Each structure stands twice: as C-alpha cells, then as structure tokens.
Structure 1
C-alpha cells in the first residue's frame, strides 16, 4: 500500500512556529493534504510528547515519533523512533548535555554526530542529517563527509532539504545506498507548509510500526518536493541584499558582498557540485517536483499571499472535489481539474509538463516561479 509521509515538522515549542499547531490541527491538515504518515516533531519535549500521547485521532493519520536536534558544529540531526517512550529514554541520555531540553522543541545537544547516532541506535531508533546541504546548520555546511561527522556510526537516511532534490545527493559517492527523505520541516499546520515535501512509503499495513520499518528498510518509492530553485538557499548569495554570485566571484570577494557588506553564503547547488564525483544515480526512486496548491492558486489569481480568502476558497473547492491536495497535484488528470477550475487545471498541466519558469532563491530568500 502506497502512503504519503512527512516526517519532519515542529511544534509550538520550537522557534518561529505557529501557536495554533496542536495534534488535532496537524492531523486535520495532514488528512486534507493527503499525508497518511506524519512525524510528530519535537518528541523530546515533555509537554509536546504528552500532548500526542493523550490525543485520540479521528482522521486515520498515523503519527510516527520524530524530533530534530542540533549537535556540535551546528549540525542538525533528524531522529525517528517507533514509540514515544523511546524519546523519554533518549531525553534522559541527552539531559546532561543540553540546557534547553525541557524548553526548546528543537534542543541543542552538546554531543558530536557519532555519539548522538550511537545513542539513537542503542534505543532502536533511526537517525540521519536533516536538510543536509543547508549552508547554516547542516552536515555539509560543517563537514566534507558523513564519516567526519558520524564516525563509525551509520546513518539510516539523509534528508535532502527544500533547496535540493535527488540529483543533488545522488552524485555524491559516499551516499550510495543511503535512502533520501524529503520532508516539509513545517513550522505551521497550514497546507502551504505542511506536506510541501513528502515521501511515498510502501506499507503492508498503515501502522506506526509499518511506517518505521519502511523507513528503516529504505522502502521509499517516491520523493516529492520543491523544484530546488524554489528553496531559499539554492544559489550562492548575499544574506542581506540577496544578490547572487558565482562561486568564483564569492571567493574573490572573500565571501563579503561588495554592495552592502553582507555575508555571502554558499548555495546548495554549488555545495552539492563540490561534493559530487560520480555517485551511483541508478536505483533511486523518482523525484516528483511539486508546487504547493495554495502557491499555484496565488500565482493564478495574481495575489501576494497564499492565505488570502480568495485563495483559500479556490483551494477548498478543489479539495472538496478531489479529497486531498496531493491528489490534485499528482494524481487527478488536469482535464478533470479544469472542469472544477479551468485556470488551476491549466497551471497543474503546466507544472506537470515542466512548463515552469524558475527564478532561483539564495541567501535566505525563496525562489519564485511562473507558468509558461
């Protein structure tokens, strides 16, 4: 059975998150999106963990306990467990090494990647680098190899992040055989954020154990998410004015923008190219490029925000007709969508055909798109 999964989200206890994020709101949003397996996010936080353990879901959403931690070197690690009780045990291991374990949704843990991974594996969990290419807080921002961070401990997966797709990681030889995940890293339950990237898992039964085992065994049959150019760190750019530079230009300017003195950050595209060297690109599941439905409607209507009433009304009409957003984006024929909304149907056909004009993002500014 094919089920869509988003395994990296956050809670109100993380920074810059919506206070309206509750288990009920998240499961309702996941059901509307078409996400059948949802990572809990922030499962090391005792209040958030308790909220999930008390929650009785009526949507059929399978919740898999997950969290993100920041270790030494500002590397972010995504952790997946089969049961919330495992996170209670992991919290006891991390407690002597963290000042914000009880207060922060994404805590800082003063341990290296190898020690963190070993602790997770000792409890039967899974671990891998989160948004592995992001230039601020990631594996490849701080290290040139997996072994440099994780030592002898294996990683169970690698999360690509919003500014990368499978092609970015598949060219890196050391990642041969490592499953890739694509997740939303959502800080809000709004459908333009939740499930904006997802994975298709091959499950025998739709249970937390089956979902956990699918990730453990690499039973990911599809990754779906942004065109990499939409990500806000895809290109090398100034973090103040967002002017983009080639790698050679950035190096010549000593990574300082000559226009305003801002810091130039290396883009994911350049970083992946540096690390690439002929990795095995065969055998990888397909990567399906999508654009959140709210963003598509926003562009069709020519408005500035995907949260306007006009956008939300069109969104509701389409999801009422076809049940879920993912069905509209990836499954329903465009001509059927056009019977409900001609303009959106045409836009869906355009992005499925690759008729999209992309203006790449960089330096912390998201890229933009239009339809051809």
Structure 2
C-alpha cells in the first residue's frame, strides 16, 4: 500500500516543544495531514514511554496504532564527545521494533551515564560509533539514521562539529548506517552531489515540535504496513518501495545560507568565498550554512542524479499557501477557515497539495488554487534562511492577490 510517513518528531518532554505534542493530538493531526505512519519520537524518556505503552495498541507487525494512525517507535539521541581533538555533536534517529527493544536500549544508555529523564532528546557522552554499537547490541533489528545530516551545530556533516564522511564518523560501524535524513535546509538533489552517499537511502522527516508542523517533510512508501518491510525499503534503497520524499524548499530552511542573525548578515557560498567567513558588522565568524557545506564536500556538479535514487517533491505547507495567497497572517481566522474548508472537501492536506486538480481547488478559492499551482511548479521567490532564521517564501506580488476571505461569522468544524 502507498502511504506517507513522518518518522522524526518530539514529544512534550523535549525542550522547546509544544505541550500539545501527545499521542491523541499526533493521531488527530496525522489524519488531517494525510499521514498514515508517525514516529513516536522520544522513546528514551520514561514518562513518554509510559504514555506510549498506555495509548498505543500493538498491531502484531512491529507497529502500533491509535485509531487510524499507525506509529513506529523512534527516538533521537544527542552524542556530545571529542574526536581528533575536535568537539563533536551528532544527532541520530533510532528505530526500534518493540517496547522490549526500547527498554534494552534505554537500560544500556542509563549504564553509560545518560540522563533520560532530563530531556526527550537525551545527551550522551558516547561517540556516534559507540552509540551504534550499543543500539545494535541491544536490538539487532533496530535501525539508525543520522538526523538532519547537514545542520551546522548538531549533525554528521555539520560545519561546527561534524565530519567529512560517514566513515570518519562511524568507523567500523559504518555498514549499519544505511539511510540519512536530509533536514529542512537540504534536499536530495544537494545530497546527490556527494558520491559517498550513493549507498544510503535519503529520507525526510519533519523534526516537528508542534502538531501543526508534522509532515512538513516526509517520505512516501509503497510497502506492507509493517516494521520489517519499511526498514528493508530504506536499508535496500528500494526505489520501488521508497517512492519519493516530500521536502521543504531547502532555501526556506533556517540554515541554508551562511550568515549571522544578530547582525542581519546573510550570503551564499560564492559571496563567502570572496568576502570571507567574518561578519562585516561585528567581526565574529559567520555560521556556515548547508549550501556552503555541500559545496565543500561535493565531488559532483549541480544537477547530477545517481542511479537508484528516489525522486522528491518540494512543497509549501497549506496554511502558508493560504496566507500568502490571500495576503493575510498565517494565524488568522481567515486562514483557519479556508484550511478547514479544504480539508473537509478533499480529505487531507497532502491530498490538496499533491493530488487534487487545480480547478477543483479554485472552486473553493481561485487565488488559493493558483497558489497551490505555483508551488507545484516551483514558481516561487524565496529569501534563503540563515543562522537559525527561516527563509521567507513569496508566491505572489501584492498586486497579484485578489483576497476574498470568508465572513467573520462563518464557522466550520475541524475533522
């Protein structure tokens, strides 16, 4: 069956996460978005793990369910350590096949000094290599994916604390790393420029901290809905099983360009090459973004497509499209009303963004239909994000909008 999956999210037990990130809200928003399979996130946290055991029903195939939404056990671990006289901060996403496997992994992490109650994304002093060994010893059916692989501060290829190759990071455990997560500031095309990544699957996930943000990146599979089939699709780079990924436009990610947010300085790799890495305002070093980092490691030109690569589709969240199309704020009642109307008519957000004929969307509102059409065609103007500042997307010029919002008295119930 074909389904959309978002494996990487966080519970309310992680720092800077909405208190609404609980199982009931995740299941509800997954239905609204059109996501069939969600990662649980944070399985290392004892209070969240207890909630997962209480709320989720086992499906006898390595997955769990809450109503129509299925869940797969996942958790992110932050390794902070020193290697080759350089501080390293690497985030890895762990998939586990059962609560028993989770409990074995957690016990081993506790024995190595991890403070699992302090944060849903715990910090450990283990190297990324040793973390893989620990997880695979505890549960050979588990699966490990370097998270948001290019983020400057906390990732395998990050400029601030990462490595230049998977082999350098994971050593003899490298064969267990068979997929990477793109992160919001990169897309598969950027990763395809690195020949060393040809042997791993490229997946995308939202890394969401609130229910409305789930699915902003995701992966689309055509497999049986069970743990083994899903993991094997990634492990084997099965392009007939991992059909495509759903991506942010990477320029919208908050680490795409080089820059310094406190001084409002941002620039692309070529400008950094000519001007240097020092902020012209304060004299501090710029945060080097993902685009520049890819240029540093790339051994292929832009546009190269390796064999056996799953394609991708870049989208803008529907609420952003509605707000931009109508020229109103994203959190306004107008946006909420139109969002509810589209979901009620077409079934889910992804059904609107990916499959619904544009003429049918225009029946709801011509300007929104035009906005979705432009996003599908990539006809956008984007101010790239940098140093923790999200990029800004513009679909229309002000003179192109024809706002026709609903009256204040209109009420529509959310499905």
TM-score (norm 2): 0.84
Relative distance call for 1:98 and 1:261 in structure 2 (3 A) is: farther
Mapped partners of 2:273, 2:361: distance in 1:
48
Which residue of the other structure, out of 64, 70, 73, is the alignment partner of 2:72? 64
**Deviations, residues 215-239 of structure 1 (Å, cap 9, x unaligned):** 3443311011111111010001113
Mapped partners of 2:264, 2:257: distance in 1:
10
Contact 1:2 1:200 in 2 (8 A): yes
**Deviations, residues 59-85 of structure 1 (Å, cap 9, x unaligned):** 311100001111131111111112222
Q: Which is greater in Rg?
A: 2
Matched, 1:325 2:349: yes
Match of 1:215 in 2: 234
How far 1:106 moved relative to its partner?
0.1
Mapped partners of 1:249, 1:195: distance in 2:
33
How far 1:88 moved relative to its partner?
1.0
Mapped partners of 1:94, 1:20: distance in 2:
27
Mapped partners of 1:33, 1:246: distance in 2:
33
Mapped partners of 1:117, 1:10: distance in 2:
21
Match of 1:294 in 2: 319
After TM superposition, what 4+ stretches of structure 1 lie above 6 angstroms from structure 2?
Answer: 251-254
Contact 1:79 1:125 in 2 (8 A): yes
SS in 1 for 2:393: strand
**Deviations, residues 140-191 of structure 1 (Å, cap 9, x unaligned):** 111111111100112021000000000111111111120011000000011x
Q: Which runs of 5+ in 1 are unaligned?
A: none
Match of 2:55 in 1: 55
Q: Which runs of 5+ in 2 are unaligned?
A: 57-64, 82-87, 397-415
Matched, 1:310 2:329: no
User: Residues 67-216 of structure 1 correspond to what in structure 2 (within 5 A)?
Assistant: 67-71=75-79, 72=81, 73-122=88-137, 123=139, 124-141=141-158, 142-153=162-173, 154=175, 155-190=177-212, 193-204=213-224, 206-216=225-235
**Cα-Cα RMSD:** 1.8
SS in 2 for 1:140: coil
**Deviations, residues 240-272 of structure 1 (Å, cap 9, x unaligned):** 223113446647776431213454111101101
Which residue of the other structure, out of 365, 374, 380, is the alignment partner of 1:350? 374
Mapped partners of 1:18, 1:293: distance in 2:
20
Q: Identify the range of structure 1 (348-357 vs 277-286) with the bigger mean alpha-carbon deviation.
A: 277-286
Match of 2:4 in 1: 4
SS in 2 for 1:75: strand
Q: Identify the range of structure 1 (167-176 vs 206-215) with the bigger mean alpha-carbon deviation.
A: 206-215
